[in-house]
Structure 1
Amino acid sequence: MIETGVVKSLSGKLAEITADTGTECKSCVLNGTCGQSTLSEGQTVYVINDIGAKIGDVVEFEYDEKELLKGTFVVYMVPFISTIIGLIIGVILEKLLGIELVRLQNATTVLFSVFFLLASVPVVRRIDRNIKSRSRIRNVLVQGHR
């Protein structure tokens, strides 16, 4: 996937890029109402500067789609799966074992679902750090515009 951004800083062979809103966003039916488009300054990306771009240059860079999909899976599916696990445990405790934390119907199920959802946040952060530390920087500058 090729994106556009502005070079903000340089450090050796790496360039810090502030990426514009993605090309997918421009044709999206949500038209600026999602969370991605609310980031007014854009997303910071570090790329290998093989083309000799300078600070302030508008550049195109290639983004590894596999890394994007991994991150998307972690951010959305880990909390979803955790919530489902909490729901199942809550139902088992409530229905099969007769455990009720509060006298409201299904309260145990709701409490366990919310607990597992909240517990998934540090898990997502840890997985994200592991993915970032294991993956090499694969984003590469493709073309510069002045």
Structure 2
Amino acid sequence: MQAIPSNHMQEEGLVVKTMGGLAQVETTQQEACKSCGAQGMCHAMGGDKRRVITAVNQVGAREGDRVVMAMPRKGVLGASFLVYMVPVAALLVGAALGRKWGEAWGLEPQTSAVVLGAAALVAAWMILRKVSKRLAGRKELTVTVVRILRKEQGDALESSTACL
């Protein structure tokens, strides 16, 4: 059994599909997520506590296996910064510039702040899409299946030690 380094976050899940050397693992938001400042954002779009994570299947897990996944904390923190802080910063900077330059464009400062803030937010999302494609193969951002626990008998997912 492979030991998980202390600088890695870990989470349990259920393998729902395998594709070559990858596994799609269904997880449930856990107790560890309650202490996370962004706990609601993981599921803001769907509101569901379940999510599917694609992970490198280095232990040969199969569909129905209960597994432990690991990811370096540094990668989680860096990805979290990109996903949460960059769009917010772009929105704020865009709104501030729009407010400042609004009159020069013949617009109300509030209107130009909304327009430029929204444009900066959209631009940040587009840039993040390109950056995420470049970062996709980096080792510090790779989620890996590190251990098979057992074959799942029921539908409920058990609690885990950390939120990915």
TM-score by length of 1: 0.73
Deviation at 1:132, TM superposition (A): 0.9
Higher Cα radius of gyration: 1
Measured on the aligned residues, the alpha-carbon RMSD in Å equals: 2.8
Structure 1 CA distance for aligned equivalents of residues 106 and 84 of structure 2? 29
- Match in the other structure for 1:128: 132
Deviation at 1:134, TM superposition (A): 3.7
Number of residue pairs matched by the alignment: 137
- Identify the match of residue 114 of structure 1 among 112, 118, 124: 118
1:74-126 deviation line (CA, Å, top 9, x unaligned): 111111221232133224324xxx51433x34322332122212222211211
- Identify the structure with bigger relative contact order (alpha carbons < 8 Å, sequence gap 6+): 2
Could you tell me which amino acid in structure 1 is paired with residue 122 of structure 2? L
TM-score by length of 2: 0.67
Structure 2 residues without counterparts, runs of 5 or longer: 1-8, 152-164
- Identify the match of residue 68 of structure 1 among 69, 76, 94: 76
Report percent identity of matched pairs. Answer: 22
Tell me: CA distance 1:109–1:14, structure 2 relative to 1, closer, same or farther (3 Å).
Answer: closer
CA contact (8 A) 1:53 1:144 kept: no
Structure 1 residues without counterparts, runs of 5 or longer: none
